[in-house]
Structure 1
């Protein structure tokens, strides 16, 4: 029989076979993707935990040097020259000496709001990764417009300042001892009578005359939260807002007016549960005293205890227990997170 009358041997896939292979690959990718994402989140959570451990070590070294914990907020002077935050005071103890050696602490306004800010260039260029949670989807900086006095020093019309993903716990809005008889109070009303009972209490007000020492943590350093995470948006279904305690003038560098003022920065007075989004009337607590502990880690947020250890606080944790752990001297027996 002449050549060429036989059909050539078939090579390659048929369309059906190709579709089957594509479908199998799609199923495998669908099975593997959640595992890959979970592994990445586990790594990010570990890095976040390491960040908090570094902060805890810096706080302990600060206490060894100055016999007190970095004050949560120091009062502004009579010329509205606002002070550096507790975060800035940890820098010498986390290998950030370059920042401290170039910082001005006297005669300057760290907020840049009312007086000349001699630290504008430092704030505009320095970034400290330790205070950033890798799971956060929020901006690392905020854009600010230096006032005329600061621009006269050479500052441009806008600068970028870092916002921290962690906040010191200054106290609790409700007294944990009162919550025993009323474990589910209305956290949207009333007046915070405790407020100064945390490790990072505001100094100079009616409730706290000086910085806290470890000896003042009578509930025990392993039973008292010192710093908590704030690394995700407030989202009540209508608003998605950046409510971190440092999202205001000066970012992580500025502590606010201190004392009995209505707002402090980079610290929080506990008033709401972890990851709480149900604020009344779509109200975001903003940068004032009652910012919320929250994160993008599934199911809760990480906290630094005063002994330097880091724990994961579930968003379902008992609210009375959370208040007890956020108070340094309520005398109540605390359970575990």
Structure 2
């Protein structure tokens, strides 16, 4: 019987060139898909941020229903320095955090330093999901937890401990305003906005040191007031009532870069002339800018409880107008 030799068919496989082409195509597809995925994630984070602000806005209005005014951002005793509680602590019962609020004995615990346990607690409603530095801040005496949502404290001037004068914002020291005092209208007045945790800042520059100083018109003009102590701990203490911890001002529009030279390196800064409660003679001026990690702007809550996304490109005059409680500016929603 004759032998039959069958020819083996060569196995079909990828050549090196074909494999490289496939890898290149996959890389291109990933490159096209990744921005879309990142965009979807950021949209989800921004939606959660907006929801957080809505919850805080609801808390403000529940506080208003109970007390007939919005809460004071801070209460400062005249004639002595203090480490004051923030307005955020007064909202705790209205965001289902009564257990935290009840930890404060308001008849005895005049300062937040009396409650080291509370200072380190994370309150989810106060944190934006896009925040990249959400970590506790450890000090030799206390551990603090940061916050992203801050009270509108006006244009520039905040408080004078000698005369008791306050700035033009809604949330100012030693005042608790009701809707009747917000003559610009609740829907046309900023209540709260975002700020970045661990913001670099100068504090206690003691400049300006007199009343009646107009707000700087440019970042370069603000730099002339730089001095005092530099750190990177702005907005890291939700329990404390200082403007650079739980407040913002409309000195500059959202995400404006104010660059100072710090030890030979550029730093994007805020500035507070004197921390609230740290002097019985010097006024507090503050350029604490609203900032966020959302591309193009910040989430902001109006006093009527509505939340809007305000673009970085908003006209500074409009932004400052939104920050005043009784400036009589005529502003329509299509301007921002």
Q: Same fold (TM over 0.5)?
A: yes
Partner of 1:201: 172
Partner of 2:145: 162
- Secondary structure of 1:30's match? helix
Query: What CA RMSD, in Å, does the superposition of the two structures yield over aligned residues?
Result: 2.8
Cα distance, 1:49 vs structure 2: 0.2
8 Å Cα contact 2:76/2:82 also seen in 1: no
| 1:54-75 per-position Cα deviation (integer Å, ceiling 9, x unaligned) | 0000000001001110101210
Matched, 1:213 2:178: yes
Change (3 A) 1:292 1:321: same
Partner of 1:254: 240
Change (3 A) 1:264 1:78: farther
Change (3 A) 1:17 1:144: same
Please, which of 216, 220, 224 is the counterpart of residue 189 of structure 2? 224
| 1:221-262 per-position Cα deviation (integer Å, ceiling 9, x unaligned) | 0000010100267689xxx97463x33xxx110114xxxxxx
8 Å Cα contact 2:76/2:84 also seen in 1: yes
Map 1:89-100; keep pairs closer than 5 Å.
89-100=90-101
Gaps of 5+ in 1: 147-158, 175-193, 204-209, 257-262
Please, which of 269, 279, 286 is the counterpart of residue 284 of structure 1? 269
Partner of 1:153: none
Partner of 2:211: none
Map 1:67-106; keep pairs closer than 5 Å.
67-76=68-77, 80-106=81-107
Gaps of 5+ in 2: 158-164, 201-218, 220-229, 262-266, 276-285
8 Å Cα contact 2:300/2:310 also seen in 1: yes
Cα distance, 1:81 vs structure 2: 4.6
- Secondary structure of 1:252's match? coil
- Secondary structure of 2:143's match? strand
Map 1:301-312; keep pairs closer than 5 Å.
301-312=298-309
8 Å Cα contact 2:116/2:143 also seen in 1: no
Matched, 1:123 2:145: no
Change (3 A) 1:225 1:297: same
Q: Which has the higher strand share?
A: 2
Partner of 2:58: 57
Aligned residue-pair number:
282
Greater alpha carbon shift after TM alignment, 215-224 vs 280-289: 280-289
8 Å Cα contact 1:140/1:163 also seen in 2: yes
| 1:128-155 per-position Cα deviation (integer Å, ceiling 9, x unaligned) | 1111011111233211222xxxxxxxxx
Matched, 1:143 2:138: yes
8 Å Cα contact 1:243/1:284 also seen in 2: no
Q: Give the Cα separation in 2 of the matches to 1:69 and 1:212.
A: 6
Partner of 2:248: 268
Q: TM-score, normalised by structure 2?
A: 0.76
Q: Give the Cα separation in 1 of the matches to 2:39 and 2:75.
A: 41
- Secondary structure of 1:302's match? strand
Q: Give the Cα separation in 2 of the matches to 1:7 and 1:129.
A: 68
Change (3 A) 1:279 1:106: farther
Partner of 1:183: none
- Secondary structure of 1:102's match? coil
Q: Give the Cα separation in 2 of the matches to 1:49 and 1:3.
A: 79
Cα distance, 1:106 vs structure 2: 3.2
Partner of 1:315: 312
8 Å Cα contact 1:166/1:266 also seen in 2: yes
